[in-house]
A = this chain, B = another copy of it.
């Protein structure tokens, strides 16, 4: 008999009575299946009985689904069921029309992803041109880029970074999984300033601001639009 969907149980979960364990696994599975957006461990925890070891359950569920048509993906501390990578060909009829991003927008996106937190001026410095109207808007509208805060430097420029949706969209477990990150960093190509020699900074998409950032002011969201179009 082929054990097609056989689970490999985690260690912690094994300590539970099978009945409890089974119910808890079912609950996590139901919650994740029902949701469209990835759920954080905290969100799952809020809907599960107290004292449940969510991480252990998630790991068990993930291994139970490994190699299946649907897999449990972990992205930036959030979990979601997604169809398996190799079955995309089967699902082309489900493809939703996507607004094509311009080459400028794609370059800007990758600069933001690899150099975050990054200011508009820094993006322009790397690309050698000013950002045209709508480029940042389009990325924010797609939900991949967000305003992070302000750089603690003269003019207090707004800093940009990627969102959790960015990771989900590109199937990245964390920002450290950006393709070619290690090589780029090793080649010193993530340096903000031209003279190399210093260690390259890592891209940082954490919700917390870095030391040289400060929070956005109230009303920044409205303010930034016209700036972006300047």
List residues of A whose CB falls within 8 A of some B CB.
Answer: 1-9, 18, 21-22, 25-31, 33-36, 47, 64, 67-70, 81, 83-84, 87, 90-91, 93-94
6 tightest A-B CB contacts, nearest first: A29-B69, A26-B69, A30-B69, A30-B87, A30-B83, A33-B70
> What is the copy number of this chain in the assembly?
2
Choice from B4, B9, B25 contacting A22 with Cβ under 8 Å:
B4
Task: Report Cα–Cα, A209/B185, bound state, in Å.
Answer: 56
Tell whether, in the assembled complex, residue B2 and residue A5 are in contact, meaning their CB atoms are under 8 Å apart: no
- Cβ contacts under 8 Å, A35 to chain B: 94
A69 touches B5 (CB 8 A): no
Chain B residues whose C-beta falls within 8 Å of the C-beta of A3 in the assembled complex? 3, 6-7
Q: Which residue of B1, B64, B81, B91 is within 8 Å of A31 (Cβ)? A: B91
Among candidates B18, B29, B30, B81, residue contacting A2 with C-beta atoms closer than 8 Å: B18
Q: List residues of chain B with CB within 8 A of the CB of A33.
A: 69-70, 81, 83
Please determine whether A91 and B21 come into contact, CB atoms closer than 8 angstroms: no
When distances are taken between beta carbons in the complex, the residues of chain B under 8 Å from A83 are 30, 33-34
A31 to B87, CA, bound (A): 9
Assembled-state Cα–Cα distance A91/B68 (Å): 25
Select A70's contact among B29, B69, B91, beta carbons within 8 Å: B29
List of B residues within 8 angstroms of A5 by Cβ? 5-7, 25, 64
Residues of B within 8 A of A7 (CB): 2-6
Contact B22 A2 (CB under 8 A): yes
Residues of chain B within 8 A of A27, CB atoms compared: 69, 87, 90
> B26, B47, B84: which contacts A26 (Cβ < 8 A)?
B84
**A67–B84 CA distance with the chains assembled, in angstroms:** 23
Interchain CA distance A30-B67 in the complex, whole Å: 11
A84 to B2, CA, bound (A): 25
